[in-house]
Structure 1
Amino acid sequence: MTLLLVLFISLLILFFLVYILSQRDILSPPVVMLGMFIISTIFALINAKNWQIDYSFLATFYITSGIVVFSLPILFMANKIPSISEKITNSKVDIATWKVVFAIISDIVIVYLFRKEMLQLAAQAGYRGQSLQWFIRNTTNYEGVLEFSSSIRLLVRFVDITAYIFMFTLIDKFIYNNKKGKDLLLIIPVLIFIYKTSLTGGRQDILKLVFAGIVQTYILQKTKTGWNKVISGKYIFVGLSGILVGIPSFYYGLFLVGRTTTRTMMESVSTYIGGPIQHFNQYIQHPISPSRYFGSETFVPILNMLGDAGFIDYKATVHLEFRQLGVTIGNVYTFFRRPLHDFGPIGMYLFVFSIGLFFGFLYYIVIRSKSRSTLWDINVMVYSYLFYWIFLSSIEQYSMTIISVFTLIAIILFYLLSVFYWQFKFTPTGFAFINNDDEIEREEI
């Protein structure tokens, strides 16, 4: 218990230090990471007695030092790479009505095919009338007995990326007051995405979309006010309000996606948010056998692909072993368990440093130091799409889903579909591409 309190105080000190060094940017990646670890540690402290937490020095050290190592390249870039000195006074990002209708119809067809295959998989696995969503989630995700075809998984990416692009367009219109009557139609692909996600009994993809929306809104607001203006106070208030609304929404969302639980809201949320802090400690105190393959917990999709191709003998799900938390159990271990288990302490530090370098490059070089353009807008969406890696860092290490072929396909789709939705148009002589960059109004500051 004492060292858990030491961890909490250390995280608080680091938070304020990193916040100042990040030029009071509340959505700088290390600030977000520390904020999420603080929230998770608070839940662990609340449940310390029920979970019989005896926190270890090593667990405390690995978490605090790991966050410092992750932060170092980002803080270096934050103070060495100047942000662009301009404000955007007007933006005209738009999607033609026929493309909106095309997206809606395409999404509906894809979701129909997705549900059809889902029912076929359920029948194949012996579904007998219990919760269909949970049955599919259990057999495809947890047990790994069945899986959706590659063609359906690829088609579903169209639904996912379309939702992100339409959400970005809506946010841009809201910030720059560029609204039209048809804008309400833009929300429909987002709602279809939410429905598609609920079919498989999951809530996490919806959370990822929410996180992406927060990042997109913040960055677009910064382009309007200028990067040097601090707007963190407003987002701290929004964040606290989001927690108050989000916690019950997350709990009751379980029932909306066809799942049930006997746990109270506090038990459920504590297990998800605070549990990983204790599970990481339990792993440190009672580790499992070493990995058979290099990166067997960190690079699951890559190793499964090699296994399917016959290069190695590997077939596994992304899920780790369950451990006890009072009256419940959990199997998520924060940002640091997987690389620590796979690569050892030095390898873990190198791995998290690399992730910090990656996000620092995207945020400070690709986004903050560049003028707004269509390419810049797409880069912001890609960044927001990947940012759950940081938002959920106190819960899990999401390299095991992000470092995959399907993520690469999603990123390619961001570029292709954005150009289609924003720039492609038919002309009397064929088709052409609109250059929206000339319509962006800029003001030097």
Structure 2
Amino acid sequence: MIYVLAALLFILLVVTYFGAGQDLMHPSVLTVGAMLLCVCASMYNIKLWNMQYHANTVIIVISGMSCVSLMGIICARCKSKRKRYSLEDAEIVPQDGVYKVDKTVYGIVVCFDVLVLAWYYYIVLKTTGGGALTEMLHSFRMIHSYGVGADEAASIPGILNQCIKVNKVLAYLFVMIFLNNAIGYKEKDWKYLVPPLLFCIQTLLGSDRIYIILLAGSSVVMAYVIWHRKNGWRKNISGKYVKVAAKALMAILIFFVLAGNLIGHSSEKIADPLEYISSYMGGSIQLLDMYVQEPLHETDSGWGEETFSSVYKTVVQIQGNTPPKRHMEFRASNGVIIGNIYTALRKYYHDFGFSGVVILCSIFGLFYGIAYKKLQQERITKLMSYKLCAYCFIVHCTFYFPLDDLFFSGVISINYFSMLIYMYVVYYFLIKKPIKFSW
């Protein structure tokens, strides 16, 4: 049945691609394409996991993806008085679109990022007691993420948490500045990648790779939009950019394997990198089927608690309590531990059943379909905009959908709302009405 699922997803991807106007980065295309990629990755481990996929799981996956696809196509095909906008349509275009951040402002940003990084490293040392880097990062992950041996000293100070949010916002904004100059005006100013690099280092100190992968994927979407804003939405991207994207993907995969060893995610030396990557990408597909066949019979979770976990966490904190660290159960297949990520569909199905999958996937597809269309129709006089950065800040939910839900349980939260506010404030003083020092 896994081959049937792959075939059906391929057909659905083709339908979605042409239905959405042959747009590679349309959110519905990204979601369905990512799901197909993960299903194909799971096939590499058919014998290792003794995979025996079931028809009811196939129905759940195809139904959910069809809803995402349908909503995306409806949004793309829906007639609107406003057309897709690029610089070709702008009445006033600045003669020099290359953006230069004031040197003093840039220095302040880098110093801020370095201080946040140093403070975070101090917290890691204080929490774990030091030691070899790999062991220290692994211990910090177990304490901070899973609460193993945790005490009050293991918590990250509230001020540092807010600084980390600003650090993340700065990473996305400086990626946008770099891509604006490099793609729009053929000027590569590599120093603008220093803030994103410092953010990546801070993420690795937290023994996590997810946010780096999300930043990389969102940057590809951002580059795609900037290119079309410069050259027009009717034109197709040249093969040169496709090759660059392919090389970037290979670099990300290599980094993923190496970083896994560095931060202690792998207890043993990786003998087969392809097996390691395919297990990470395709494990959720197998785990979803295992859950559908053998769901949890006893659970203390409330209505929608898995799907809207961030909302539940906020409610608990408002009540003055400490929210528990909840993680999905680890599962093994054929004696091999696969993990505990089950795709976004598991949360919907667990909380609301099959009807929840249909309804929530439809809402997901509709939200991103409308957001992407609004982004395309934005009247611009320059390539960069707050809407572009804000959209790319949350677009990761589409290509991460086959692994986990980051929309209802992440984006729909006070945490993300606060980061979007931070982003607008920083964007306003960094790009829209930039602060400049004259010495």
Q: How many Å apart are 1:304 and its aligned residue?
A: 1.9
8 Å contact from structure 1 (residues 335, 396) kept in 2: yes
The alpha-carbon distance between structure 1 residues 259 and 8, as it changes in their structure 2 partners (threshold 3 A), is closer
Residue pair 1:93, 1:169 contacting (<8 A) in 2 also? yes
Cα deviation for residue 73 of structure 1 reads 2.1
Whole-Å separation in 2 of the counterparts to 1:275 and 1:285? 16
Does residue 6 of the first structure (1) align with residue 4 of the second (2)?
A: yes
Per-residue CA deviation, residues 160-209 of structure 1 (Å, 9 max, x unaligned), is 111111111000000122638xx332121111111111111111111111
Q: What is the match of residue 434 of structure 2? A: 424
Q: Distance in 2 between matches of 1:136 and 1:404?
A: 25
Question: Which stretch has the larger CA shift, 399-408 or 198-207?
Answer: 399-408
Of 8, 23, 28, the match for 1:25: 23
> Paired residue for 1:342, among 351, 358, 376?
351
Q: Distance in 2 between matches of 1:413 and 1:322?
A: 36
| Partner in structure 1 of residue 83 of structure 2 | 83
The one-character-per-residue Cα deviations of 1:184-236 (angstroms, maximum 9, x if unpaired) are 32121111111111111111111111012101100000111111223386665
* Correspondence for 1:276 among 284, 307, 311: 284
Q: What is the CA–CA distance in structure 1 between the aligned matches of 2:238 and 2:158, rounded to whole Å?
A: 42
Give, in angstroms, the shift of residue 87 of structure 1.
Answer: 3.3
CA pair 236-34 structure 1, distance change in 2 beyond 3 A: farther
What is the distance in 2 between the residues matched to 1:234 and 1:352? 35
1:185 alignment counterpart: 191
Using the TM superposition, give the Cα deviation of residue 23 of structure 1 relative to its aligned residue in structure 2, in angstroms: 0.9
1:201 matched to which residue of 2?
207
Corresponding residue to 2:379 among 371, 387, 390: 371
Change (3 A) 1:373 1:404: farther
The corresponding residue for 1:436 is none
* Worse-superposed segment, 387-396 or 258-267: 258-267
- Aligned residue pair count: 419
Q: What is the correspondence of 1:393-408 to structure 2 with a 5 Å cutoff? A: 393-399=401-407, 400-408=409-417
Q: Deviations over 1:334-366 (max 9, x none)?
A: 12000111122212221121111211121002x
Equivalent runs, 1:43-192 vs 2, <5 Å? 43-80=41-78, 81=80, 83-88=83-88, 91-123=97-129, 131-143=135-147, 145=150, 146-177=154-185, 179=187, 183-192=189-198
Match of 1:255 in 2: 261
TM-score by length of 2: 0.88
The two structures, once aligned, show a CA RMSD in angstroms of 2.5
For the 8 Å contact 1:321–1:331, the answer to whether it is kept is: yes
Q: For 1:73-125, what per-residue CA distance to the aligned partner results, in whole angstroms no more than 9, with x for missing partners?
A: 221111124632543576343321111111001111122222222323334xx
Q: 1:191 to 1:86 in 2, by over 3 A?
A: closer
1:280–1:254 CA distance, 2 compared to 1 (3 A): same
1:376/1:172 CA distance change after superposition, 3 Å: closer
Closer/same/farther in 2, CA of residues 96 and 209 from structure 1, 3 Å limit:
same
Rounded Cα–Cα distance in structure 1 between residues aligned with 2:242 and 2:61: 24
Between the aligned partners of 2:244 and 2:39, the Cα distance in structure 1 is 21
Code of the residue aligned with 2:102 in structure 1: it is A
The percent identity for this pair of structures is 23
CA contact (8 A) 1:83 1:227 kept: no
Q: How far, CA to CA, are the matches of 2:194 and 2:157 in structure 1?
A: 26
Structure 1: unaligned runs, 5 residues or longer: 429-445
Check the 8 A contact 2:229/2:383 in 1, yes or no. no
1:259 to partner: Cα distance: 4.5
